[in-house]
Structure 1
Amino acid sequence: MRSLFATAASVMVLALAGCGDNATERAATGGIGGAVVAGPVGAVAGATVGAATAD
């Protein structure tokens, strides 16, 4: 059950990380998505993935 939750959380963070027109917006949406799913650690991970997502 725990691995299922972790997988679902990862998919949600990656899905939200791609939203936005530029790197700043993608980092912001990824950070918000990560914070909702996994708290402060998820916010950092989501922002990192969002900023690294290529156009």
Structure 2
Amino acid sequence: MRTFTTGATVLLIGATLLGGCSNLNHRENRALTGGAIGAAGGAAIGAVTGGSAVYGGLLGGAAGAAVGALTAEEGKKHRR
């Protein structure tokens, strides 16, 4: 019963957090996506190389969010 309660709590918290992402602008969406990809990649590299997966995830997430936000093309005019 404890496993079900824990799983249901995690699912509820995750759904609540994702609900806050419904009306993001382009730059915020890119930062969020870049952070998620960076965190996953940093954690994987940290774990594979024998380092800390937690620190790798934190550093990768911060770097990915920064790159995602800085490379957003919001406000720039596109040439066709």
Alpha-carbon offset, residue 54 of structure 1: 3.5
Q: How does 1:1-16 map to 2 (within 5 A)?
A: none
Q: What amino acid does structure 2 have at the position aligned with 1:46?
A: G
Partner of 1:25: 29
Q: What amino acid does structure 2 have at the position aligned with 1:28?
A: L
Alpha-carbon offset, residue 47 of structure 1: 0.1
1:45 to 49, 63, 79: 63
Q: Structure 1 or 2: larger helix share? A: 1
CA distance in 1, matches of 2:33, 2:71: 12
Is 1:35 the counterpart of 2:30? The answer is no
**Overall identity of the aligned pairs, in %:** 49
Q: Which runs of 4+ in 1 moved over 6 A?
A: none
Q: Aligned-residue CA RMSD in angstroms?
A: 1.2
Unaligned runs of 5+ in 2: 1-24, 43-56, 74-80
Q: What amino acid does structure 2 have at the position aligned with 1:37?
A: G
Q: How many residues align?
A: 35
